[in-house]
Structure 1
Amino acid sequence: MKDLDLGMEYVIPSPGYRNVREQRDQDEKKEPEDFMYQKAKRHHVDCQDALETAARVEGLPLDISMHSHLRILDEDHHKGKYHHGLNLLKPIRMTSKHQHPVDNAGLFSFMTFSWLTPLARTAYRKGELFLEDIWPLSEHESSDINSRRLEKLWLEEVSERGAEEASLRSVVWKFCRTRLIVSIVCLMLTQLAGFIGPAFVVKRLLEYTQQNDPDLTYSLLLMFGLLMTEMVRSWSLALTWAMNYRTGSRLRGAILTMTFKKILKLKNIKEKTMGELINVCSSDGQRMFEAAAVGSLLAGGPIVAILGMIYNVFILGPTGFLGSAIFILFYPAMMFVSRLTAYFRRKCVSITDERVQKMNEVLNYIKFIKMYAWVKAFSQNVQKIRESERKILERAGYFQSITVGIAPIVVVIASVVTFSVHMLLGYDLSAAQAFTVVTVFNSMTFALKVTPFSVKSLSEASVSMERFKQLPSTV
C-alpha cells in the first residue's frame, strides 16, 4: 500500500529478511570473544579479497598461489631436507616437471648457466624481451617461502636468547649455512686446482723442456693434466658463483619480506623516519645480497697463502718466506680497511636517511613549496645534504681504490723482493724455479683481488643487519 501524503511505499519484510536479521541478532548476543573472532575472520577474508583484487589490477599472475608452493615444498620435505639440492648434483637431468628451468637443470647446466640458452635465443630472435617471455618464479626462490623460514629461525633465536641478545647474524648464517659451506668447498677446490697446475704441472713442463731426450707420452700427459686442472678450476669457480647468486637472491627476498611485514604492522614508527625505512628496504637489502654473493670468497685466501708459502720455501729455501710474507701481510691491511669501510658506511647511512626523508617531504608538500616559492631554499638544503654524503662516499672510495689497485702489484713486489734477496745471498736460481714461483704467485692473486670486495661487502652487511634488528617492534 502507498502513503499518499509522503509518496513512499511501505514494503512488508520478507521471511528471508527476517531470518537474516534474527541470525544477526543471535550473533550479537554471543560471547564477546566469539563475536570478535568472527569479525576478525570476516576482516581477514576481506583483506585477502582486496589483495587478490589489487594483484589482478597490477597484472600479477594468480594461477599458482603461495599456498600451492608451500604444499609442493611440504611434499618434497618428506623425501629429505636436501632432496632438491641433491638432484642438482646429477650431471645431466632430462626432467621438466618444474616451472623454472633452473630447477630442472643438472650439474653441468647449472654451473655453466646453459639453462638460460632458450631465453637468450628468444632475446636474439625478438631483439627484446617481454614479461610473457620470462619464466614464472621458481618455487624455491619465493620470498614468501624463504621469509617464513627466516622468521622461524628468528623466533627460535629469540626464544633461546631473548629479544635483546638475539643475533641476526647467527640467524642469517643458519639460513645460508648449507649453501655457503658447499660454496666454500667449491672455492677450496678452485684454489687447489689453481695451485696444483702451476706448482706441479708447469714445473714438470719446464723441467721437461730442459731434457735432451723427448718423451711424447709423458709430454701429452702433462698437457692433459694442465688441461684438467684448468677445467676443474673454471667449473668449480662457476659453480661457486651460481650458488652464491642464488643464495643471495633468497636471502634478500627473505629479509626484505620479513622487514616489510614488520613495517606494515607498525602503528607508530617511534624514532624512525620514513627516509630510514625507505633506505632500509632499498639499500640494505642489496647489501645482504652482495654479502651472500661475494663474502664467501674471502675463505679462499688463507689456504692459498699457506700452500704458497710452504711450496715457495720448498723450492727456494728460506728466501721463499719473503714473498709469502708480503701476501700474508696484505690481509691485516684488509681488516683495517674493513673497519674504515664500516665506519664510513655508518656515517653515510645516517646522511642518506636524512636525504631520503627530505626528498620525501618535498614530494609530499610540493604544492606548498611552489605556492610559497620555497623551491630554491629546499633545493639548497637537499644539495647541502648530498654534498656531505658525497664527501663520505669519496673517502670510502679512496680507500677501496687503494686496496683494489695494490692487489695486482703485490705479485710483482713479492717476485722482485724474493728473487733479489735470493740472488744477493748467493743462491742459484734456475728458470724452472723462477717461472714456478711466479706462477704460484699468480695463482694467489685471485684471492687478493676478491679480498677487498669481500671485506667491503661483509662490513656493509654487518651495518645493515644492525639496522634491520633496530627496527621498532609492533606497538
Structure 2
Amino acid sequence: MTSKSSPLAHAGCLSRLFLCWLSPLLQLGKKQRLEESDMYNVLEEDRSETLGKELQSFWDREVRKSKKQLSEPSLTKVLFQCYGASYAKAGLFAFSLEAIKVIQPLLLGKIILFFENYDPNDDQSLWLACTYAAAISLSTFGLTFLQHLYYYNSQRIGMKMRVAVCHMIFKKALQLSTESVGRTTTGQIVNLLSNDVNRFDEITLNLHYLWIGPLQAAVILALLWYEIGLSCLAGVTIVALMLPLQTWFGKLFGLFRSKSVIFTDNRIRIMNEVVSGIRIIKMYAWEKPFSALLTGVRKKEIHQIMKSSYLRGLNMASFFASSKIIVFFTFTVYALLGNAITASSVFVTVSLYGTIKLTVTLFFPLAVEKVSETRVSIFRIRNYLLLDEVERNDVVLALEDKEIPVELHDMSLDAPSLQSVSITVKPQQLLAVIGPVGAGKDADIYLLDDPLSAVDAEVGKFLFDQGSQIYNLMPSSVTHQLQYLKGADHIIVLNGDLGHIVAQGTYQGLTGSGFDMVSLLNSDEELWPRTVEELQTNLLQELEPQTRLEPTNTNPTAHRSCSKTAAYILQDWWLVYW
C-alpha cells in the first residue's frame, strides 16, 4: 500500500465536477511510466471492510425482517436500500445527457432552416442562427461533461457493490457449517467471486435506460409528429416491432447465462479436484480419461457461450440495420403523402431517429439483457448467503476486566488424554506448551496450535517476535519449535503416556532446578541432527531429564515412553533430512 493520500478526499465541488483532482496523476503519467507507488490510497469509504460492513448490516436486517414475515429475503432490495440514493443522483446525469441529445437536432434544424430561407438583410435571423450555433457548441461540451460524470459515478457505484458483495461472500465462506460446505463447492465460490459479481459493474451503466428509454421515445415521437406529421408512424412502427424482439433477446440472454454458469461451476469443481489429485492421476496414468472429462464439460460450456454470442450478434445486427430501414420507410411514406422533402426536415428527422435508435434499440435492450443476467447472479449469491453458518460462542472480555487471569483446574480429557491439568494464564503473558506427540497438547486450552511449523526459521523468528506484541490477548502457543522457549514467560511440559504436567515454570527456573532444557533447544542454524552419531547424542540428552525427574520409575510404561520418544525423533529427523 502506498502512503499517498487521495486528492479526491479533499477535492472541492468544481474539482469533483471537472475531475481536476486527477490532473497531478495525469501530469506524472505524461512524464514517466506510472508505478504502483504512484497510485493513491483508496478512500476510507471505498475500502472493502467499510463497504462490506455497510451492506452486511442491511442484509442482516433484511434476513431478520423476512424471518418475522415468513418470506424470502431479497438481495436486490438490500442493494437498492444501500446504493439507491447515490445511484439516483447518477440518473440525473443520464437524464440531462439524453435531454441534450433531443435538443441538438432541433437546434440543427433551425440553423438549416435559416440557410434555406436566407435573407442578407435579416439581421435578426442572423443573430438567432448564431445563437443556435453557440447553443449547439455548448451542448456538445455539455454532452462530454455529463457523459464522463455519468460513467464515473455509475462505475464507482458498481465497484462499491461488487467489492461489498465480495466481502460478504468471503466472510460467509469462513463461517459455513459442515452441512453447508457439503452443499457448495470451491468452484462455485470462485465463480461467484470472479464472474457473478462482475454483473454489478455492467448493470449500473445501463439500468437507468429502462425508464429513460420509453420517456425519450415518447418525447421524440411528439417532435417527429410535429416535424413530418403522420409519416413518423411508419418509422415508429418499426421501432415498436423491434422492442418485443429485443425483450425476447434479453430473456434468452438470461436463460443462456443461467445454463452456462452451471457448466462453469462444474468445470471449475472438476479442475480443482484434478489439480488436487494430480499425483494419483499421474501415478495411475489417468491423464487421458480426465482430459476427456474436462473437454466434454468445456464443450458444453462453450456451446452455451456460443449461443449467447450468436444472439448478441443478431442484436447488434438489428441495431445497425434498423436506422436505415426506419429512415427509408419514413420518407417513403412522407413522399407518397405528397409532401416535399426538405433539408431541414431530413436532418432533423434523421437526427431524432438516430437518438431514439441508440436509446431504444441499443441501450434499452442492453439494459434488459444485463438485468436478466444480473437477476441470475443475484439469485445465486443470495442462495449462497442464506447457507447455514456455524454457531459461534465468542467470549469477549471487557476492557476493564483485562487484568483478570484465565485459570483451569483439574482438567481431564479422554482424547487426547489429559489428567488433572491445572494452569493459570495471566494477561500479557506468553505460555508455551511442549511435549511429545499425543501428550494432549491439542486441547482447547490454547490459541495458537504450532503456527511456526509451516514456515522456515527466519520467517518463524519474525512471526514470533512480532506476535509477542499481542500479549493483551493472553496468547498460548503449542509448538515443537523448541528454540523459542527462551522467549516464553511460562513453560508447561506434558508427559506423553501419563497425560499430566511433568514440569512447569519459567525457562530460567526449569534449567536452574535441574531440568535439562538445553538438550531440548537447538540453535537456529542447526535444528536437526544430520548424522546418526548426533542423533544418538541428542536422543540421550533428551531422555536424560525424564530419568532425573523420575528416578524410581522402572516399570514397563516408562520404557515404552522412552521408545515412543525415540521413534518420534527418528521419524521427524528422517522426514526433515529427506
Q: Sort the TM-score into its range (normalised by shorter chain).
A: 0.7 to 0.9
In structure 2, give the amino acid aligned to 1:365. Answer: G
For residue 249 of structure 1, what is the aligned residue in structure 2? 159
Which of the numbers 99, 104, 109 marks the counterpart of 1:203? Answer: 109
Q: Are positions 1:453 and 2:366 aligned together?
A: yes
Counting helix residues as a fraction of each chain, which structure ranks higher?
1
Q: CA offsets, 1:171-220, max 9 Å, x none?
A: 11112211221122211111111101102x11110110012323342222
Mapped to 1, the partners of 2:242 and 2:142 lie a distance apart of: 27
In structure 2, give the amino acid aligned to 1:292. Answer: T
Mapped to 2, the partners of 1:179 and 1:255 lie a distance apart of: 17
User: How far is the alpha carbon of 1:109 from its aligned partner?
Assistant: 4.1
For residue 26 of structure 2, what is the aligned residue in structure 1? 120
Mapped to 2, the partners of 1:114 and 1:320 lie a distance apart of: 44
Query: Could you tell me the percent identity over the aligned residues?
Result: 25
Contact 2:199–2:370 (Cα < 8 Å) also in 1: yes
RMSD over aligned CA atoms reads 2.0
User: How far is the alpha carbon of 1:148 from its aligned partner?
Assistant: 1.2
Mapped to 2, the partners of 1:136 and 1:468 lie a distance apart of: 29
Which of the numbers 322, 325, 330 marks the counterpart of 1:410? Answer: 322
Contact 2:251–2:369 (Cα < 8 Å) also in 1: no
Mapped to 1, the partners of 2:376 and 2:102 lie a distance apart of: 35
Segment drifting more, 226-235 vs 237-246: 226-235
Closer/same/farther in 2, CA of residues 118 and 195 from structure 1, 3 Å limit? same
For residue 73 of structure 1, what is the aligned residue in structure 2? none
Q: CA offsets, 1:86-122, max 9 Å, x none?
A: xxxxxxxxxxxx9322333445544554433333333
User: How far is the alpha carbon of 1:429 from its aligned partner?
Assistant: 2.7
Which of the numbers 7, 28, 43 marks the counterpart of 1:101? Answer: 7
Specify the structure having the higher radius of gyration (Cα).
2
For residue 39 of structure 2, what is the aligned residue in structure 1? 134
Alignment of 1:52-91 (within 5 A): none
Mapped to 1, the partners of 2:230 and 2:13 lie a distance apart of: 44
Mapped to 2, the partners of 1:414 and 1:474 lie a distance apart of: 57
For residue 150 of structure 1, what is the aligned residue in structure 2? 55
Q: Are positions 1:179 and 2:91 aligned together?
A: no
Mapped to 1, the partners of 2:137 and 2:280 lie a distance apart of: 70
Contact 1:319–1:418 (Cα < 8 Å) also in 2: yes
Contact 1:247–1:293 (Cα < 8 Å) also in 2: no
Closer/same/farther in 2, CA of residues 459 and 113 from structure 1, 3 Å limit? farther
Mapped to 1, the partners of 2:220 and 2:241 lie a distance apart of: 14
Mapped to 1, the partners of 2:247 and 2:208 lie a distance apart of: 15
Closer/same/farther in 2, CA of residues 318 and 107 from structure 1, 3 Å limit? farther
For residue 235 of structure 1, what is the aligned residue in structure 2? 145
For residue 133 of structure 2, what is the aligned residue in structure 1? 223
Q: Are positions 1:466 and 2:372 aligned together?
A: no
Q: CA offsets, 1:20-67, max 9 Å, x none?
A: xxxxxxxxxxxxxxxxxxxxxxxxxxxxxxxxxxxxxxxx57x8xxxx
User: How far is the alpha carbon of 1:431 from its aligned partner?
Assistant: 2.0
SS at 2:46 equivalent: coil
Q: Are positions 1:259 and 2:169 aligned together?
A: yes
Q: CA offsets, 1:58-91, max 9 Å, x none?
A: xx57x8xxxxxxxxxxxxxxxxxxxxxxxxxxxx
User: How far is the alpha carbon of 1:276 from its aligned partner?
Assistant: 1.0
Alignment of 1:27-46 (within 5 A): none
TM-score under structure 2 normalisation? Answer: 0.63
SS at 1:362 equivalent: helix
Aligned length: 379
Segment drifting more, 160-169 vs 238-247: 160-169
Closer/same/farther in 2, CA of residues 390 and 250 from structure 1, 3 Å limit? same
Alignment of 1:248-327 (within 5 A): 248-268=158-178, 269-327=181-239
Mapped to 1, the partners of 2:338 and 2:73 lie a distance apart of: 60
Mapped to 2, the partners of 1:195 and 1:108 lie a distance apart of: 27
Structure 2, unpaired ranges of 5+:
391-578
Counting strand residues as a fraction of each chain, which structure ranks higher?
2
User: How far is the alpha carbon of 1:169 from its aligned partner?
Assistant: 0.8
For residue 419 of structure 2, what is the aligned residue in structure 1? none
